[in-house]
Amino acid sequence: MTDPVLATHGLHKTFGALKATDDVSIELRQGEIHAIIGPNGAGKSTLIAQICGGLRPDAGRVELSGRDVSALDTRARTRAGIGRTFQISALAMEDTVLQNVLLGAIGAAGSPWRFFKPALGDTALREHAVEALRRVGLEDHQAVVTAELSHGQRRQLEVAVALTLTPKAFVMDEPMAGLGAEGSKTLTGFLDGLRAQAPILLVEHDMDAVFALADRISVLVYGRIIESGTVAEIRNSQAVREAYLGEGA
C-alpha cells in the first residue's frame, strides 16, 4: 500500500469539558476519496479546522506526504499542498470567473495585495489560471461574471482556485450544501473525476453523494471515529446504524 498523502495521528481537542476530537487518526491515500460522516455536532468541522490549520489540537499531529505540518498556519499549509476548497462567500460575485481564479490563487498563496494588480496582466499566471479552469470544465466560462454561475459551477470554480496551487490533497467541507438534486448529481460526477488529480478528504451530509463517491468512510460520533471502512462495510455496520444512519430515519 502507498504511504498516505494526508494523515492525522491521535488528534485531541477539548472545549471545556467537551471532547470535540477524541484521538482521531485518519489517512488519505493517493487516488481516493475518504469521506468523514457523522451527526450534527460530531466534530467534523473541528477536525477539518485542525487539519487545515485554523485550530490547534491539544495533542496529536497532522502529516502531509510524511512531513509534520502541525506547526504551520493555514496559509503555509495551503502552500504546502492542503487544498481546502473555499467557501462560496470567498468568491467575488461581481468579478469574472478568470479574475476569481487569479485573485483567489494570489490571495491563498499569501502574496501581498500590491502584487495583485500587475499579476492580472501576467501572461504565465493567466495561462496557469486558464489551465485550472480547463481542468474543472469552466474554460469556456472565463469571461462570465461569477454571479451568473450556478451553485455547482461556483463549487467547480472554488476547486479551480485550489488547483492553481497544485494541491497534494483536497479537503472539502460539505461541497453539496445548497445544491439541488440535479446540482448534487453533476458535482458528484465532477468530484469522481477530480480524485485522479489529488485525493479528497470529504466531509458531507449528502449520503447519496458519499455512497456514490467514497472509497472509504470514517464515521465520527462525539469526536471519536467509531468505524472506518468501505461503503458496504459502513452500510452493514450495526454500530453505525445505531449511532448515526438510523437517526431520524
Q: Which of 6, 11, 43, 168 binds ligand ATP (CB under 6 A)?
A: 43
Which region, judged by CB under 6 A, interacts with ligand ATP, from 14-22, 93-101, 118-126, 142-150?
14-22
> Is residue 46 a contact point for ligand ATP (CB under 6 A)?
yes
The grid coordinates listed for 200 are: 479528497
105 versus 225: smaller Cβ distance to ligand ATP: 225
What's the length of the chain?
249
Q: Is 42 in the site for ligand ATP (CB under 6 A)?
A: yes
Residue in 14, 25, 30, 45 binding ligand ATP, rule: CB under 6 A = 45
What one-letter code names the amino acid at 83?
Answer: G
Are 133 and 101 within 8 A, CB to CB? yes
Helical (H) or strand (E) element with 45: helix 44-52
Q: How far is CA 2 from the centre of its chain?
A: 21
Nearer to ligand ATP, 48 or 105 (CB): 48
Nearer to ligand ATP among residue 92 and residue 177 (C-beta):
177
Stretch touching ligand ATP by CB under 6 A, among 13-21, 125-133, 148-156, 162-170: 13-21
The only residue of 44, 77, 84, 155 in contact with ligand ATP, by rule CB under 6 A:
44
Q: CB of 121: closest distance to ligand ATP in angstroms?
A: 41
Are the C-beta atoms of 155 and 187 separated by less than 8 Å?
Answer: yes
**What single-letter DSSP state applies at residue 145?**
B
Contact 91, 150 (CB under 8 A): no
| Residue whose grid cell is 467575488 | 92
Q: Helices marked H in 81-140 — which ranges? A: 97-109, 116-120, 123-135
Q: Is residue 57 a contact residue for ligand ATP (CB under 6 A)?
A: no
Q: How many residues bind ligand ATP (CB under 6 A)?
A: 11
If one asks whether residue 40 binds ligand ATP (CB under 6 A), the answer comes out as yes
109 binds ligand ATP (CB under 6 A): no
Nearest to 52 by CA among 162, 197, 216: 162
Cα 228 to Cα 240: distance, rounded to the nearest angstrom: 10
CB-wise, 40 or 123, nearer to ligand ATP?
40
Residues lying near ligand ATP in the complex (CB under 6 A) are found at: 15, 18, 20, 38, 40-46
